[in-house]
Amino acid sequence: MSEMLEFVTEVVEKIYKDLITKETVDLLEEGKWATTLWQQLVDNELLKVAITEQYGGANGDIADLLALYQLTGYYAVPAPVLEHTLANFILEYVRLTPFESITTISFNDKQMLTMTNGKLDGNIPNVPWARSAQQLVTFAQEGEVLKLIAVGLAQASIVQATNLAAEPRDTVSFQQAEIIAQTEINEQQLQKLIKYTTAAKLAALSGALDKAFQLSVRYSKEREQFGRPIHRFQLVQQHLANLAGEAAIATAAIENMAGALVNETERYEVAFTSIRLDEASKIVATSAHQVHAAIGVTYEHSLQHYTRRLWAWREEGLTTHYWQKQLADDLLQVENVWSWMTTK
Amino acid sequence: MKLPVVHFTQEQEQFRLEVRAFLQRHLKEGTFRTKCDSWLSGSDPVFSKLVAEQGWIGMTWPQEYGGGERSTIERYILTEEFLAAGAPVAAHWFADRQTGPLLLRFGTEEQRQLFLPKIIRGDCFFAIGLSEPNSGSDLASVRTKAEKVEGGWLVNGAKTWTSNAHDAHYMVTLVRTAPYDQVSKHSGLSQLIIDLHAPGVTITPIPYLTGERHFNDVFFENVFVPDAMVVGTIGNGWTQGLAELAFERSGPERILSTFPLLNELIIELKQAYDTVGLATASKLLAEMWSLRNLSIGVAQVLEEGGEVAIPAALVKSIGTKFEQKIPEIARLLVATYPRLQAERAFDRYMAESILHAPGFTIRGGTSEVLYGIVAKGVVAQ
C-alpha cells in the first residue's frame, strides 16, 4: 500500500470510529439510510480511492481495496461502501467509466440475465442495496457472448429483502431494460472478476471475524464469575486461544491472497482463503458466543452484528462450495500436489 | 497479530528444487523410504551424514564454524522439503534446530569451536533434556540437581521422554543449580552439556506406541560435568530455554508430520477420479496453505530478531491439530487397513499417522499449556 493510501485508510477508519456505533448499525435494521456516514465519505472523496486519477481517484489497486473492506467488516459499516467501490473498480478494469452516484454489484455463478437487441431481461435475487443504488454492475448473456454491463435501477422492479444480518439484499427484475454501458468479456477476465469479488467479500468477512474476536477478549476481561474475570478460567482461555488463532490465520490468508492478486501470481489463494475463512467463521462465531454467554445471543450486545454478518457473508457471491469444486477439478490436472503448492 | 508476507526469491525457489532433486535421487536409490513423522521417528546417522555433505546442517550458522550463513527462510525451505518427502532426519534434528542456535547465542567460544563444526559435519548429535518424571509440561518443577564441586558440577537425577538420546552424543540438560524455591520456581535453573557416554549416565528405552524407540529415560548418578560445559550463565537456564522454544514451536514440523499421508490420499483420489473426495481433501490443503503463511511469517520475524513467542505457540497448537486431522479425514475418503508393515503406501502412512498422532499435541508443550500462553498474551494486549 502506498503512503497516500495508508493515509486514506486511516481517515476512513477515523470516520468509521466516530460515526458507527451499535446504534447506527441498529438503524439499518429499521431500513434507514446512513445519511451522515455516506455524506462524509463522499465529501472526503473516500469512495474514489481505487479508481484512476482520470476520474478523480487515487489509483488504488485491489490490495488497497481489500484493506478498506477489512475495515468495513470490522465496523459492520451499514452502507454499500464495498459494493460501490468494487463496482467502479471493476468497471475501470474492463475499461468502462465509473459512476459518481451509488452503484452496486452482483456476481453469481449462475447467469440469470439475458440481452436481446440491446435490451435486458431476467431477474437476480440477493442484490446488495439495490433499493438505494442508481446502477447495477453485473453479467448478462447475449447469445453466446458474456458481457459485463451497467444498468440503471430506475427501470427495475425491486422486491426488498434482507440477509441474515438484516443488510438489504433485494430481488431485481428487468423487462426490456436499457443498458448504460456494456463490454464483452473473455474467460480470463471472467475468472479475474470472480476472484476480485470473492476476495472483496472475504476481506470484509475477515474484518467481522477479527471484531468478534476482539469483543470476546474485551468481554472476558470485564465479566466476572465465581469471583474472578472469566479469562482466568482454563476453558475460557481455550476459547480465547482458538479465537486468536483463527483471527491470525484469517489476517495472514487475506494478506497473502492480496499479494498474489496484486502481483498477478494468483493460482489457488482465493480458493484456499474462501475455504479456510469458511471454517474460521464457524469456529469464531461458536467460540465468541460461548465466551459471551447469554448476553451475546441478544440484540442488546453488539456481538450479534458481527456473527450474523459472518453467517450471511459466507453464503454470498461465490461460496466455498464453488471453490472446493474448482480445486477438485484443478487437482485432477495436478501432477504432484507438493510441487503445485510450493513451486511457481 | 500481524506477520509479514514472505515472497520467495528466485534463488530460494532454485534452492528448493535443488533439495527436492537430492531427495528424489535418494528415494529412487533406496537410501531411505518415505515415512510419516520422520523428523522424530526416522533416525539414520548415515543419511544425516549425506545431508551434512550438502552443507545442509547448520546452514544458517557463521562460516567460521563451517556454517553456510544462509537465511532462516532457506532453512525453512529445506525443512519443508525433508518433511514432505518423509526423510529420516531425526538424528541431527535437535542439534540443528536447537543446540546450534543456543550455543551461538549463549555458549562460550570454546563450546562453539568444539561442537559446531562437528554438528555441521554430521558427526555429533544432541538430545534435549527438559522433561522429568513427574514434571512434563511444568518445567519449573525440574528437580535434577547439579552441585558445585572442584572444577565442575556433580549431576544427580533423571530426565524422561528424551527423544533420540540413544543416538545422541550429548544432551543440553536443564538442571537445578540452586535449591528449589517454591516462590520463584524459575530461578536457580541452568543448562549443562552432558556427555551421554560419561560414567554415571544410564539410558533406557521407553517404547513408543509403534513399538519403536524414540523416547528414553536418562539417569544421572554422580555425573561430573566440567565448568566449561555450562551454557550461558548459571541460574539463567529458564530464560535461555524460553528463547529456544520459539525455534521449536513454529517450524514446518508442526504442520507437515503427516503430509506423506495427505499426498498419498490425493494420489489415490485422483486415480479413482473421485472429485467429491478431492473437494473434501482441498479443505486440508487450504488449512495447510494458511498455516504455512503463518509459520513462514514467524520464521521471517525470527530472522529479523523479533518477538514471536505468542504466534509460535499459536502455530504449534493449530498446526499439530491439523497434523492429527489428516488421518481422520483420509480414512473416510479412501478405504484403508492401517498396518505398519503394509505394502500399500496409503495403509502404511495411515498406520504411522494414527500411532504417532497423539504425540503431536503433547511434545514441545501440550496444547493446553499453549492455549494458556496465547490467552494470557491476547488479554494483556
What 3-state class would DSSP assign to A42?
A: helix
Crossing angle of the two packed helices B309-333 and B259-271, in degrees rounded to 10: 30
Given B84, B263, B290, which is nearest A252 (Cβ)? B290
Residue A79 has pLDDT above 90, yes or no: yes
Given B3, B266, B317, which is nearest A245 (Cβ)? B317
Contacts of B297 in chain A (CB under 8 A): 252
Question: In this predicted model, what pLDDT tens digit does every residue of B66-91 receive, in sequence order?
Answer: 999 999 999 999 999 999 999 999 99
Q: What pLDDT, on the 0 to 100 scale, is given for residue B305?
A: 85
B337 in contact with chain A, both atoms CB, cutoff 8 A: no
pLDDT class of A109 with cuts at 50, 70, 90: low
Question: In this predicted model, what pLDDT tens digit does every residue of B8-34 receive, in sequence order?
Answer: 999 999 999 999 999 999 999 999 999
B280–A276 C-beta distance less than 8 A: no
- d(C-alpha A312, C-alpha A209), whole Å: 12
Question: In this predicted model, what pLDDT tens digit does every residue of B195-221 receive, in sequence order?
Answer: 999 999 999 999 999 999 899 999 999
Longest dimension (CA), chain A: 73
- d(C-alpha B370, C-alpha B314), whole Å: 7
Count the residues in chain B. Answer: 381
A contact set with B (CB within 8 A): 217, 220-221, 231, 234, 236-238, 240-242, 244-245, 247-249, 251-253, 255-256, 259, 263, 268-269, 271-273, 275-276, 279, 324-325, 327-329, 331-332, 337-339, 341-344
The alpha-carbon radius of gyration of chain B (Å, integer) is 21
Q: What pLDDT, on the 0 to 100 scale, is given for residue A195?
A: 97
Crossing angle of the two packed helices A187-222 and B367-380, in degrees rounded to 10: 80
Query: Which residues contact residue B376 at a Cβ distance below 8 angstroms, ignoring those fewer than 6 apart?
Result: A237
Q: What pLDDT, on the 0 to 100 scale, is given for residue B58?
A: 97
Name the one residue in this structure whose C-alpha cell is 475460557: A236
Q: Which of A238, A323, A329, A343 to mutate to test the interface with B (most CBs of B within 10 A)?
A: A238
Q: Which of B268, B371, B376, B381 to mutate to test the interface with A (most CBs of A within 10 A)?
A: B371
Residue A105 has pLDDT above 90, yes or no: yes
A263–B279 C-beta distance less than 8 A: no
Q: What pLDDT, on the 0 to 100 scale, is given for residue B136?
A: 73
Partner residues linked to A343 by β-bridges? none
B278–A328 C-beta distance less than 8 A: yes
- d(C-alpha B354, C-alpha B351), whole Å: 5
Contacts of A269 in chain B (CB under 8 A): 289
B371 in contact with chain A, both atoms CB, cutoff 8 A: yes
Q: Which three cell numbers stand for residue A297?
A: 445471543
- d(C-alpha A206, C-alpha B98), whole Å: 35
Contacts of A220 in chain B (CB under 8 A): 379
Per-residue DSSP letter, B6: P
B84 in contact with chain A, both atoms CB, cutoff 8 A: yes
Percent of chain A clearing pLDDT 70 (strictly above): 99
Q: What is the mean pLDDT of residues B96-116?
A: 96
Do residues A165 and A211 make contact, with C-beta atoms less than 8 angstroms apart? no
pLDDT class of A128 with cuts at 50, 70, 90: very high
pLDDT class of A325 with cuts at 50, 70, 90: very high
Q: What pLDDT, on the 0 to 100 scale, is given for residue A4?
A: 76
Taking all residues of chain A, what is their mean pLDDT, rounded to a whole number?
95
Partner residues linked to B236 by β-bridges? B189
Residue B318 has pLDDT above 90, yes or no: yes
Task: Measure A197 CA to nearest chain B CA, in Å.
Answer: 19
- d(C-alpha A198, C-alpha A317), whole Å: 7
Per-residue DSSP letter, B125: -
Q: Which three cell numbers stand for residue A284?
A: 469464531
Q: What is the mean pLDDT of residues B261-284?
A: 98
Name the one residue in this structure whose C-alpha cell is 514441545: B364
**DSSP assignment string, B156-198:** EEEE-S-TTTTT-SEEEEEEESS---SS-TTTTEEEEEEETTS
Q: Tell me the count of A-B CB pairs closer than 8 A.
A: 139
For the question of whether the overall pTM of this predicted structure is more than 0.90, the answer is yes
Do residues B296 and B4 make contact, with C-beta atoms less than 8 angstroms apart? no
- d(C-alpha B40, C-alpha B27), whole Å: 19
Separation in Å, CA A194 to CA A96, A190, A199, A238, B49: 17, 6, 8, 37, 50
Q: What pLDDT, on the 0 to 100 scale, is given for residue B381?
A: 83
Averaging pLDDT over each range in A71-85, A99-113, B138-152, which range is the top one?
Answer: A71-85
- d(C-alpha B373, C-alpha B355), whole Å: 28
**DSSP assignment string, B308-326:** -HHHHHHHHHHHHHHHHHH
Residue A1 has pLDDT above 70, yes or no: no
Per-residue DSSP letter, B366: -
- d(C-alpha B152, C-alpha B155), whole Å: 10
Residue B35 has pLDDT above 80, yes or no: yes
Question: In this predicted model, what pLDDT tens digit does every residue of B42-72 receive, in sequence order?
Answer: 899 999 999 999 999 999 999 999 999 999 9
pLDDT class of B262 with cuts at 50, 70, 90: very high
Q: What is the mean pLDDT of residues B292-301?
A: 94
Do residues A143 and A114 make contact, with C-beta atoms less than 8 angstroms apart? no
Percent of chain A clearing pLDDT 90 (strictly above): 90
Q: What pLDDT, on the 0 to 100 scale, is given for residue A8?
A: 85
- d(C-alpha B165, C-alpha B174), whole Å: 15
- d(C-alpha A173, C-alpha A124), whole Å: 7
* Pairing, β B170-176 against β B126-129: parallel
Given A252, A276, A338, which is nearest B286 (Cβ)? A276
Q: What pLDDT, on the 0 to 100 scale, is given for residue B321?
A: 97
pLDDT class of B303 with cuts at 50, 70, 90: confident
- Torsion over CA: A174, A177, A179, A185 (sign): positive
CA atoms within 13 A on the CB side of B368: 7
Given A234, A248, A343, which is nearest B311 (Cβ)? A248
Query: Which residues contact residue A21 at a Cβ distance below 8 angstroms, ignoring those fewer than 6 apart?
Result: none
B21 in contact with chain A, both atoms CB, cutoff 8 A: no
Lowest average pLDDT, out of A43-57, A125-139, B325-339, goes to: A43-57
Which H or E element spans position A135? strand A135-142
Question: In this predicted model, what pLDDT tens digit does every residue of A89-103 receive, in sequence order?
Answer: 999 999 999 999 999
Residue B250 has pLDDT above 70, yes or no: yes
Task: Measure B312 CA to nearest chain A CA, in Å.
Answer: 11
Residue A110 has pLDDT above 70, yes or no: no
What 3-state class would DSSP assign to B341?
A: coil
